[in-house]
């Protein structure tokens, strides 16, 4: 069992979290999920962190469940934080902070859940993805909660049932990732998104993520009833006062990290 399989670094308000278990293709092992949850807890509690970027080492972003562990062949030798997969997949949408996926390799099965959980994702255009669960006798059950809302019904039916792998540009067409780009452009593509995100205020981004998660399940009347007080609270908040003052005074808002002004 390796010492550490998840690393993080925070620079200019951006916390980059790296899945670093290339020998196991960054599979969702007990160690990786435990370390990932711990690292994300720290990043989300840090007021200086504005955006969290999730990426990987090796040629695979995430290969899904660790099949050795699932079949009882585990090399875990020390106690680890017990992580419910549903808790892991759901936390990204519940977080007040935006998540950007820098998908620098292949993603299959449960790894597709991580990809779909991101608020914005950029994937290497030569990388492959796929819902391969049916080929080992299971189904893309929990990750369907994240993937189906992003996909056209016909695409989801074909991909889930066939279990085949397809290139990232096809995943972009399906809506699973936002962009598929060449290797020499992936850094710039992610930096462009991050530069936009840090210009939004922390409270406004948190509220926006909340409404994105809530409004689609409401009727029109319920939607207006829920969003009206939210809007009023935001307009009365300190971020709105600073944001409007910065706009009128033609200066960067105080919450924007110096590097991005």
Contact 164, 130 (CB under 8 A): yes
Contact 112, 141 (CB under 8 A): no
| Spatial distance between the Cα atoms of 147 and 144, rounded to a whole number of angstroms | 5
| Spatial distance between the Cα atoms of 54 and 114, rounded to a whole number of angstroms | 9
Contact 218, 226 (CB under 8 A): yes
| Spatial distance between the Cα atoms of 181 and 188, rounded to a whole number of angstroms | 10
**Active site (annotated) includes residue 133:** yes
Long-range contacts formed by 34-42: CB under 8 A, 24+ apart: 34/80, 34/81, 34/82, 34/83, 35/4, 35/5, 35/6, 36/6, 36/88, 37/81, 37/83, 37/87, 37/88, 37/91, 38/6, 38/81, 39/6, 39/7, 39/8, 40/91, 40/95, 42/8
Choosing from 9, 133, 242, 258, which is the catalytic residue? 133
Q: Which of the residues are catalytic?
A: 133
């Amino acid at each position: 069992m390796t010492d550490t399989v998840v690393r993080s670094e925070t620079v200019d308000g951006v916390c980059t979290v790296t899945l670093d278990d290339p020998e196991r293709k960054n599979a969702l092992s007990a160690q990786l999920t435990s370390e990932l949850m711990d690292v994300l807890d720290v990043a989300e509690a840090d007021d200086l962190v504005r955006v969290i970027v999730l990426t990987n080492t090796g040629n695979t972003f995430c290969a899904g469940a660790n099949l050795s562990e699932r079949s009882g062949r585990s090399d875990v030798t020390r106690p680890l934080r017990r992580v419910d997969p549903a808790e892991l997949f759901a936390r990204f949408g519940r977080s007040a902070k935006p998540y950007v996926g820098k998908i620098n390799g292949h993603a299959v099965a449960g790894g597709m859940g991580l990809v779909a959980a991101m608020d914005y994702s950029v994937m290497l255009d030569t990388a492959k993805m796929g819902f391969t669960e049916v080929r080992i006798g299971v189904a893309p059950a929990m990750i369907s909660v994240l993937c189906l809302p992003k996909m056209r019904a016909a695409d989801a039916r074909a991909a889930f049932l066939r279990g085949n792998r397809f290139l990232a540009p096809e995943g972009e067409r399906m809506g699973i990732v936002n962009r598929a780009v060449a290797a020499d452009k992936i850094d710039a593509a992610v930096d462009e998104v991050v530069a936009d995100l840090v210009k939004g205020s922390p409270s406004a981004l948190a509220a926006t993520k909340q409404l994105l998660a809530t409004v689609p399940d409401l009727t029109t009347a319920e939607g207006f009833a829920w969003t009206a007080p939210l809007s009023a609270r935001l307009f009365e908040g300190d971020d709105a006062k600073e944001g409007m003052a910065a706009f009128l005074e033609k200066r960067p808002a105080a919450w924007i990290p110096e590097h991005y002004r």
